[in-house]
A and B are shown apart, each in its own frame.
Chain A
Amino acid sequence: MPLWHHYHIPTTVEEALAHLARYDGKARIIAGGTDLLIDLQHTEKGAHTLDALVDVTRIQAMTEISASEGWIYVGAAVTHTAVVDSALIELQATCLVESCGVVGGPQVRNVGTLGGNVAHALPAGDGTTSLIALDAEAHVAWADGRREWLPIGCLFKGPGESAIDSTRDVLVGFRFRPCAQREATAFKRIMRPQGVALPILGCAVWLKLDDRSDHCADVRICIGPVGSIPARASEAENALRGQVMDDETIQAVADIACQTLHPRTSKYRATADYRVYMIETLLKQALPLAARRAQTGIAQAEGVGLG
């Protein structure tokens, strides 16, 4: 069975919305297609023919990376490769390069997009984890004509369930604040060599040191999957704010994270016990790395391509 009948390549968001409106729920957005085509071909969820696909990868506003007015803007149709290649993002939002850099292999990163990663709404999409730690906002063009900037967390309704209806709405792009002095980020994840290409656990941190450069002024931590949607580890964050960034504190923060986050056992991926161990492992890697970056101002992404 053909999986879709028509393929449209609009060049503006309005045009894309108009196509979607015309098909009234029977057309769907495609960006890289690395999630969508596999869903359509191989899962029951996807096993119904669509009238049309609407390709958003030639809409200029959705494929740009730019910096202005104190924000970094990344279009939703920017590929993982483009994020990885961006010197701007590497310097000022290192974690995003690190997370986009471990998605799939080069062929997947060359077409897969950050927007697709978020719209697919997995609780541990690698791009998503970093965007949460960056406290990013998403720009959404709703079918009813509204355009709004929303905290990214608002887009997630459940595992694989997004507030955005990709048969009607368009996720246009993301923005977040670049790291200022004494601020830095880091992303790490744990994989297993078997089974599906989803992390056992991913962790992104954004860290701000105070003037003394060894105390945590502020922190955001996203570890997932823990619940059904990506979320911040607020107890661990609270335990770190104001503390000196030494091994003892990091151990204490890791202990609190292990006690307060309740990851589940998921079939063929990981046991809850193992995930708890991994919370500690990840925090002990990511927090000191972010602190080092904040102290030195040098941020070189690690692990790109080694996912």
Chain B
Amino acid sequence: MSQLNLTVNGTAHTLNVPESRTLAEVLRYDLGFTGTKIGCEEAECGICTVHVDGVPVDSCIYPAFKADGKKISTIEGLATHDAEGEEHLHPLQQEFINHCAVQCGFCTPGLIMTSAALLNENSNPSEQDIKIALKDTYCRCTGYTSVMQAIKSAGGILRGDGPLPVNEPAVDEPTANISRSLKVPDIVDRVTGRAKFSDDYTFPDMLFARTLRSAYPHAVVLHIDTSRAQALPGVRAVLTAEDIPGENIHGLVHLDWPVMVGVGQKARYMGDAIAIVAADSQDIADAALGLIDVEYEVLGVVDNPIFAHSPEAPILHEGREDGNLLKHIKVRHGDIEQGFAEADVIIERTYHTPTTEHAFLEPECAIGVPAGFNAEHSKLTVYVGSQIPYQDRNQIARAMNLPDEAVRVRGVLIGGGFGGKEDIAGQIHVSLLAQATQQPVKMLYTRQESLLFHPKRHATVIRIKTGAKKDGTLTAVEAELYGDGGAYASLSDKVMTRATTHATGPYNVPNAKIDCFAMYTNNPPSGAFRGFGVTQSAFAVEQNMDLVAEALGMDPVQLRLINAQKVGVTTATGQLLRESVGLIDTIDKVTVDMRGGLNGSFRWGWQEGDKAYGWGIASAYKNTGLGGGAPDKSEAEVEAFEDGTVAVRTSSADMGQGLVAVLAQCAAEELGVPYERIRVLLSDTDLTPDGGPTTASRQTYMSGNAVRHAAANLREALTSVVSEEYDKPPAQLRFEEGLVRVNGTSIQFGEAVHLAKEQGIATRIRHEYWGPKTQPLGTGGDMHFAFSYATQAALVSVDLNTGAVHVEKVISATDIGRAINPLLLQGQIEGGIVMAMGNCLTESYIIENGVPWSTLLARYKMPSIKHTPEIISHLVEDRSADGPYGAKGVGEIPSINTSPAIANAIYHAVGVRVFSIPVDQDALLRAMRTGSTEVHTAWHDVR
């Protein structure tokens, strides 16, 4: 300990802290400025940015004592307060809100502080200036377009020129609350640093936990000795599988994943937990891990799905009839032989897509508080940012040997999820440690642990054969997919099913035979990731489409238009599309823009100086909801109060997509209550009913409907009360602007609630919404209740001297049924596109013989602001009958066709087709120089 002097946001502090602290740690843990976030501790993500003497630095790698005597500014100091104590946001904070440049908000303090340093020097920055200043400050949600607008707009205010107009997408039929870009409630907290994510919570006597993970990708644990760790002062508990009171297993679809690998059991990947420790400090917990002795018997490694399927491969899960075959998924439609016999052109190619990582900026964190800890915690309580709170509760209860009701899961803000926060991370482990120590326990994963541990996007090998007639009509698709499911099932079964059923693309394909083999391997498990398998199959399908078009001498747009799904088409799973198929509109909108009125002179590719340019197009579709016969329901509760406010409660996750706003809009619309008077509480298993998993782009549709119906039922109850009281026919009552209006007179909404209460009429209504019934794959009928559609065109440039690929522009059109909140929706689209650019150009989670190479964020580059292209996004609102106000899902559809659009564009630019991603500029240039037209290797193949 030694004395440290810092001035933080104008206030001097003298602290006695260990000299080994980083500035981020002192700010967050010693001074409580939790607005500064930690995303990597590698100087990679920039979200920990603070100013030291006015200069932006990464506080995560800045030793606190380096700052001795200096002035620090953090996000908490940016807004000013007037004499009355009223807060005045900095123009950046204001404009980040106005331009919707905040989604999950975890990166926001870093983005704003980095931008503030820029604007301090230059209040009129060009796009290039902004890209330079923010180059190493990541946001995984927004795609940066809105961020750039917000910064420019704030600059305008600072210069006195005023803000920029908000780039609102055009929508049909806005009502009082629907199809309006209303602001997310509490969004101010995300720009001021007040918003609390899991690691921002602390409890008295809280302990810090760490996990010892397997030293090998495949090994039997022979012996575990924790005695040295137990003896370390400050260690409060060291637990192994033996200490689990209930079942040592978890899993979302199949129960195959041990909470900890016990003696005699097998570790199946490097992320498997062997032991957990709780200690007085993080440092002690870290040290204790090094004192746990484990003996292993090392087994052979299954490092890829094709080997996994071979007879020589070691078996991961003994006793399974199918060995390493996790699931064989089949689509059979029409007569495949006949289909190819009718074809004039047949194209068959093999594509590879890599394992990819969500890289949500908030690493996983869970806090367990033991039952009976205090009045607020009579039950075992787990605080976590999770996509599926009720299933967490169930999985915790199973391992703890408790009834579900004895466990409470309280969802907190989630710093991005994208599918990566569906499985159990530390939820069960903190429960075990909290019960064992009778103290609150926090388990915060480091970025490196997060990279190692959580389920990823499936790597795939996809062979696809497409047949078409001379006139362009598709006759058949045959495909074989191998998916790397990794060590545990997670959601592999469902994800790979989606990859399979969508492998015809959004087209009318009369004959199809598609087989998918999801395999167990010793790689990190694969699970849900935005796009849910369709991202992978679209990469293959949409390039094959362009190959077919080329072979036929047909325009790629034309080929898509000829075959596009429309009402009346039957999909390869036997589903007759009856409504809401906006694909052709999306193709038309994108094509008009892409051709830019140059119908005659439009070119797909050309050269200018040292660069080759090319356009590429791709279409996609994606189901909304679980589908496949899975019962899909969401339950929500709406309660009205006499003060005129309304509470909405459901356990659904807002990971930044803005669900809170959407649900509040639905309630406001039904009850005619001003949006600001709606409070939404999400994800508390004691207080909110089950909204089901936040996955499959389902929450706007499912929980939106649940809230809409609950609110409508409440309105009806109030209607009957008021109509009786005032003796007016119910049909004459109107709920609007916080009033109940009857022929010229009106009463306050709160007054109506008061009347109802007096009469003992319920003002709290629950509704369990069941999505339209779906059918399992293979049984025909409706496998899904809705599909969203999208078309994107990408303009890329390829540097003829280096092979470097840059995306210049993306034009997208997305059919989402209805845009309930257009600006939030646009944020999903822009963010989805940029994430998908990463999938195509920068991202690959590399594993060498079961051992991850991508152990650092520095080794896993996601798109930064410098990659952001110009994005033009159009909405197509082809209403879906059962969706709330006609809406369908949007979460995933924008991230599906960007990769093939880019690949098709590269081909048009330089005549080389890329079959494996992320695109390797090295291989691309070598192909260009040697006259080869195909590249079958990707970045990770460079060795």
**B49 & A107 in contact (Cβ 8 Å cutoff):** yes
**A107 & B56 in contact (Cβ 8 Å cutoff):** yes
Q: Mark B304-332, 1 if CB is under 8 A from A, else 0.
A: 00000000000000000000000000000
Question: Given the interface contacts A38-B42, A108-B43, A265-B942, does A196 sit within 8 Å of B63 by beta carbon?
Answer: no
Query: In the bound complex, how far is the Cα of B610 from the Cα of A285, in angstroms?
Result: 12
Query: In the bound complex, how far is the Cα of B920 from the Cα of A265, in angstroms?
Result: 14
**B63 & A38 in contact (Cβ 8 Å cutoff):** no
Question: Given the interface contacts A38-B858, A105-B135, does A193 sit within 8 Å of B926 by beta carbon?
Answer: no
Selected contact of B66 from candidates A55, A265, A270, CB within 8 Å: A55
Query: In the bound complex, how far is the Cα of B920 from the Cα of A274, in angstroms?
Result: 11
**B283 & A110 in contact (Cβ 8 Å cutoff):** no
**Is B736 at the interface (CB under 8 A from chain A)?**
no
List residues of chain A with CB within 8 A of the CB of B62.
33, 111
**B114 & A106 in contact (Cβ 8 Å cutoff):** yes
Q: Mark B808-849, 1 if CB is under 8 A from A, else 0.
A: 000000000000000000000000000000000111101000
Query: In the bound complex, how far is the Cα of B843 from the Cα of A110, in angstroms?
Result: 27
Residue of B nearest to A105 (CB): B136
List residues of chain A with CB within 8 A of the CB of B49.
107
Q: Mark B900-926, 1 if CB is under 8 A from A, else 0.
A: 000000000000000000101111011
B131 to chain A, nearest CB (A): 8
Selected contact of B20 from candidates A4, A107, A195, CB within 8 Å: A4
**A195 & B859 in contact (Cβ 8 Å cutoff):** yes
Q: Which of A5-13, A130-138, A202-210, A211-219 contacts B (4 or more CB under 8 A)?
A: A5-13
**Is B57 at the interface (CB under 8 A from chain A)?**
yes
Query: In the bound complex, how far is the Cα of B568 from the Cα of A84, in angstroms?
Result: 63
**Is B562 at the interface (CB under 8 A from chain A)?**
no
Query: In the bound complex, how far is the Cα of B892 from the Cα of A236, in angstroms?
Result: 53
List residues of chain B with CB within 8 A of the CB of A284.
801
**A195 & B132 in contact (Cβ 8 Å cutoff):** no
**Is A2 at the interface (CB under 8 A from chain B)?**
yes
**Is B79 at the interface (CB under 8 A from chain A)?**
no
List residues of chain A with CB within 8 A of the CB of B926.
271, 273-274, 277
Query: In the bound complex, how far is the Cα of B22 from the Cα of A37, in angstroms?
Result: 10
A58 to chain B, nearest CB (A): 9
A220 to chain B, nearest CB (A): 23
**B940 & A268 in contact (Cβ 8 Å cutoff):** yes
List residues of chain B with CB within 8 A of the CB of A271.
922-923, 926, 942
B-facing residues in A43-97 (Cβ within 8 Å): 53, 55, 57, 81
Selected contact of B841 from candidates A110, A193, A269, CB within 8 Å: A193
**Is A30 at the interface (CB under 8 A from chain B)?**
yes
**Is B773 at the interface (CB under 8 A from chain A)?**
no
Residue of A nearest to B46 (CB): A107
List residues of chain A with CB within 8 A of the CB of B922.
192, 200, 270-271, 274
**Is B223 at the interface (CB under 8 A from chain A)?**
no
Query: In the bound complex, how far is the Cα of B843 from the Cα of A306, in angstroms?
Result: 20
A142 to chain B, nearest CB (A): 25
**A42 & B856 in contact (Cβ 8 Å cutoff):** yes
**A41 & B41 in contact (Cβ 8 Å cutoff):** yes
Residue of A nearest to B55 (CB): A110
Residue of B nearest to A200 (CB): B922
A201 to chain B, nearest CB (A): 10
**B943 & A6 in contact (Cβ 8 Å cutoff):** no
**B942 & A268 in contact (Cβ 8 Å cutoff):** yes
**A55 & B63 in contact (Cβ 8 Å cutoff):** yes
Count residues on chain B whose CB falls below 8 Å from chain A CBs: 62
**Is A305 at the interface (CB under 8 A from chain B)?**
yes
**A7 & B843 in contact (Cβ 8 Å cutoff):** no
**B19 & A277 in contact (Cβ 8 Å cutoff):** no
**Is B94 at the interface (CB under 8 A from chain A)?**
no
List residues of chain B with CB within 8 A of the CB of A306.
132, 866
A-facing residues in B777-806 (Cβ within 8 Å): 801-804
List residues of chain B with CB within 8 A of the CB of A269.
942
Tell which of A1, A2, A193 has the most Cβ of chain B within 10 Å.
Answer: A193
**Is B215 at the interface (CB under 8 A from chain A)?**
no
**B61 & A190 in contact (Cβ 8 Å cutoff):** no
**Is B68 at the interface (CB under 8 A from chain A)?**
yes
B873 to chain A, nearest CB (A): 23
Query: In the bound complex, how far is the Cα of B859 from the Cα of A229, in angstroms?
Result: 23
Selected contact of B802 from candidates A7, A105, A110, A190, CB within 8 Å: A190
List residues of chain B with CB within 8 A of the CB of A193.
804, 841-842, 861, 867, 918
List residues of chain A with CB within 8 A of the CB of B853.
268
**Is B748 at the interface (CB under 8 A from chain A)?**
no
Residues of A in contact with B, size category: 35 or more
Selected contact of A194 from candidates B55, B283, B843, CB within 8 Å: B843
A101 to chain B, nearest CB (A): 9
**Is A297 at the interface (CB under 8 A from chain B)?**
no
**A106 & B56 in contact (Cβ 8 Å cutoff):** yes
Query: In the bound complex, how far is the Cα of B322 from the Cα of A66, in angstroms?
Result: 73
Query: In the bound complex, how far is the Cα of B62 from the Cα of A278, in angstroms?
Result: 36
**A108 & B19 in contact (Cβ 8 Å cutoff):** no
A56 to chain B, nearest CB (A): 11
**Is A162 at the interface (CB under 8 A from chain B)?**
no
Query: In the bound complex, how far is the Cα of B2 from the Cα of A119, in angstroms?
Result: 29
**B802 & A278 in contact (Cβ 8 Å cutoff):** yes
**A192 & B846 in contact (Cβ 8 Å cutoff):** no
List residues of chain B with CB within 8 A of the CB of A190.
802
Q: Mark A275-307, 1 if CB is under 8 A from B, else 0.
A: 001100100110000000000000000001111
Query: In the bound complex, how far is the Cα of B75 from the Cα of A296, in angstroms?
Result: 46
**Is A150 at the interface (CB under 8 A from chain B)?**
no
Residue of A nearest to B117 (CB): A106
**A1 & B842 in contact (Cβ 8 Å cutoff):** no
**Is B18 at the interface (CB under 8 A from chain A)?**
yes
B732 to chain A, nearest CB (A): 63
Residue of A nearest to B805 (CB): A193
Q: Mark B692-716, 1 if CB is under 8 A from A, else 0.
A: 0000000000000000000000000
B906 to chain A, nearest CB (A): 14
**B283 & A2 in contact (Cβ 8 Å cutoff):** yes
List residues of chain A with CB within 8 A of the CB of B212.
none
A61 to chain B, nearest CB (A): 19
List residues of chain B with CB within 8 A of the CB of A265.
942-943
**A9 & B939 in contact (Cβ 8 Å cutoff):** no
B459 to chain A, nearest CB (A): 15
Question: Given the interface contacts A33-B63, A278-B802, does A192 sit within 8 Å of B921 by beta carbon?
Answer: yes
**Is A34 at the interface (CB under 8 A from chain B)?**
yes
Residue of A nearest to B49 (CB): A107
List residues of chain B with CB within 8 A of the CB of A105.
46, 134-137
List residues of chain A with CB within 8 A of the CB of B920.
192
**Is B257 at the interface (CB under 8 A from chain A)?**
no
Selected contact of B63 from candidates A7, A81, A305, CB within 8 Å: A7
Selected contact of A106 from candidates B61, B132, B283, CB within 8 Å: B132
Question: Given the interface contacts A55-B66, A57-B66, A268-B939, does A5 sit within 8 Å of B19 by beta carbon?
Answer: yes
A137 to chain B, nearest CB (A): 28
**A281 & B802 in contact (Cβ 8 Å cutoff):** yes
**A104 & B942 in contact (Cβ 8 Å cutoff):** no
Q: A1-B287, A38-B42, A55-B66 are in contact. List 15 more A-B contacts (CB 8 A).
A: A1-B283, A1-B286, A7-B20, A9-B65, A9-B68, A38-B61, A107-B46, A107-B56, A107-B58, A108-B58, A110-B56, A192-B920, A192-B939, A277-B925, A307-B135
Q: Which 6 A-B pairs have the closest CB atoms?
A: A105-B136, A305-B132, A2-B20, A7-B65, A274-B922, A37-B61
Q: Can you list 14 A-B pairs with a CB-CB distance of less than 8 A? A: A1-B287, A33-B61, A37-B43, A37-B61, A42-B448, A55-B65, A107-B43, A107-B114, A192-B804, A192-B921, A200-B922, A268-B940, A269-B942, A277-B929
Which residues on B are within 8 Å of A, measured CB to CB?
A: 2, 18-20, 22, 41-43, 46, 49, 55-58, 61-63, 65-66, 68, 114, 117, 132-137, 283, 286-287, 290, 448, 801-804, 841-844, 846, 853, 855-856, 858-859, 861, 866-867, 918, 920-923, 925-926, 929, 939-940, 942-943
Which residues on A are within 8 Å of B, measured CB to CB?
A: 1-7, 9, 30, 33-34, 37-38, 41-42, 53, 55, 57, 81, 104-108, 110-111, 190, 192-197, 200, 265, 267-271, 273-274, 277-278, 281, 284-285, 304-307
